[in-house]
């Protein structure tokens, strides 16, 4: 069996990176946020082998794995992207196409 550290490294490099690909440009609704959280926590519960009859709070799962909330990370990445776009020169293509969104 693999150690938890190895499982979490694989999860972060494969699943989480795929899940977060291009998240800076997505518009998140409350429904999408809920679906992302459910999928993320379901994966972490599976890694920790916490199944249905055992009721464990989401905060405990995140604490055991050392991970943060996925929606918070998406918001952080969006703000970082907005900062990059805002620092571009005025004539740049990215800034021109995002002018209405900022």
Per-residue pLDDT of the chain (102 residues), as tens digits, is 789 999 999 999 999 999 999 998 888 899 999 999 999 999 999 999 999 899 999 999 999 999 999 999 999 999 998 888 888 887 777 766 655 554
pTM above 0.85, yes or no: no
Question: What tokens does 49 get?
Answer: 């082998």
Distance between first and last Cα of the chain: 48
**Eight-state DSSP code of residue 54:** S
pLDDT in the model for residue 102: 46
User: Which residues, at least 6 apart from 37, have a Cβ–Cβ distance to it below 8 Å?
Assistant: 58, 69, 70, 71
pLDDT in the model for residue 89: 80
Rounded to the nearest 5°, which phi and psi values hold at 46?
-65, -40
């Amino acid at each position: 069996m693999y150690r938890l550290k190895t499982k979490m490294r694989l999860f972060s490099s494969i699943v989480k990176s795929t899940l977060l690909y291009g998240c800076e440009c997505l518009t998140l609704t409350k429904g999408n946020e809920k679906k992302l959280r459910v999928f993320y926590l379901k994966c972490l519960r599976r890694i920790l082998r916490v199944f249905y009859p055992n009721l464990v709070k989401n905060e405990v799962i995140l604490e055991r794995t050392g991970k943060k909330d996925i929606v918070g990370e998406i918001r952080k990445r969006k703000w970082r992207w907005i900062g990059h776009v805002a620092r571009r020169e005025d004539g740049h293509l990215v800034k021109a196409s995002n002018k209405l969104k900022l």
